[in-house]
Chains A and B, each alone.
Chain A
């Protein structure tokens, strides 16, 4: 991870993933499975990226960004998780991904709320022009919103990669019981996925489809 090109690539990718979530293009680049797998490829350990993305994706499945509800930002968090997980023993990958990503995702969600407050203040400053139908004022608000989110996402990415660097400095092979972190992260992810799916499924046909999927998944896991 020490190569400047790798660091720049990670910063760029984490920033793009963050902007994707709240601004443009909102095309699933910020999903943990996507963001972490690509980050794993950048640092040369796709397997760790995929595993980190998998455990964090379980948490993201619980999130429904409906209405104006608060939601976490898993973009930069997942990139940092994959980077840190790339250098740890396999049994600790999920734990390190959780330690790095979950707090950053929460912090990232808070930064989105702040971004929206700044956007609101920006609209207030141009209220008369917008009310008068000045298309240039509307364009300025869109441009500034995008630039603001790029800045937010870049700063979040820097913080996330610093956290990853700190976690990477730990010699995980010497940490007795480190696999407990993985068990905690996996259990939390499973609770998130199950709780989210059952809440979202409600009753009736969707719950039956969930039961069929769950049974099939158990059978596949047992036979594989």
Chain B
């Protein structure tokens, strides 16, 4: 197995040792190790150890984009860049890779796929689950692999290479598809879940949804009104209603 392939596989578990202190630092160190071992094969052990220690310091980004940092740091080590500058590179990449990755994946690709899958499920049935898993994981593999190669190619120049790349535009597109997909899914899911319930049920669910959505968005209440809290609260109320029935 080549060092690059080993690093790519290890990037799948980059958050395995996630902590509040170093966040994904240990995982990034683990993913970097095969590349550093190869790079420092002919060097004194102390040099390799110093590079390994640097690679496992604090780091946090979107997990799918951590490969960009792994590649860039290894390339910078190969180019003989000053260790302090390499540490600065890691820190500087952390926030932006988190920001762009969160937009591309958590606010883009994932809700887009889940929304479209929800909307299609009344007709496609369980097959839609297989389709979304394949689509997401193929895209993820391509993204992780592209990121690692970009970092390895660009080193310290990874920032401007990212600026020139497709990633920001794709993040913007993915979020638009996500907005459309979730919008599409919501009424279809309501129709599918309520089915042929009587009009009173539709009226009750509609009224609660309207009030709850306003509270979830209003600046004064939104920090207390999350979906899970509302759901648990409504279940408690439903329990009281059922308990009070003759």
Contact = CB atoms under 8 A, between A and B. Distances in A.
Direct contact of A and B (CB under 8 A): yes
Interface of A: 22-29, 31, 33-34, 37-38, 40-41, 46, 49-51, 53-55, 57-68, 72, 90-91, 94-95, 98-99, 102-103, 105-106, 116-117, 119-120, 122-123, 130-135, 138-139, 141-142, 144-146, 149, 175-201, 205-207, 209-218, 220-221, 224
Given A26-B63, A178-B242, A184-B237, A192 B227 contact: yes
A220 B212 contact: no
A37 B232 contact: no
Interface of B: 10, 12-13, 15-23, 26-27, 29-30, 33, 37, 48-54, 56, 60, 63-64, 98, 102, 106-107, 110-111, 113-115, 117-119, 121-122, 125-126, 129, 132-133, 136-137, 140, 175-195, 197, 201, 204-205, 208-209, 212-213, 216-217, 222, 225-228, 230-235, 237-239, 241-242, 245-246
A217 B187 contact: yes
A41 to B, nearest CB: 7
Which of B12, B113, B182 counts the most chain A CB atoms within 10 A? B182
B205 A34 contact: no
A183 B199 CA distance: 12
B205 to A, nearest CB: 5
A170 to B, nearest CB: 12
Given A181-B238, A193-B189, 15 more contacts: A26-B63, A28-B133, A33-B129, A55-B189, A58-B118, A119-B18, A133-B48, A142-B16, A142-B30, A144-B17, A184-B234, A197-B111, A206-B178, A217-B183, A224-B122
Contacts of B18: 22, 116, 119, 145
A34 B48 contact: no
A175 B245 CA distance: 10
A187 B114 CA distance: 19
Q: Is the interface of B mostly helix, strand, loop or mixed?
A: helix
A27 B56 contact: no
B163 to A, nearest CB: 21
18 contacts: A23-B13, A33-B129, A50-B126, A91-B195, A138-B33, A139-B33, A141-B30, A142-B10, A144-B17, A189-B189, A190-B186, A192-B227, A192-B231, A195-B217, A198-B217, A199-B222, A200-B111, A206-B176
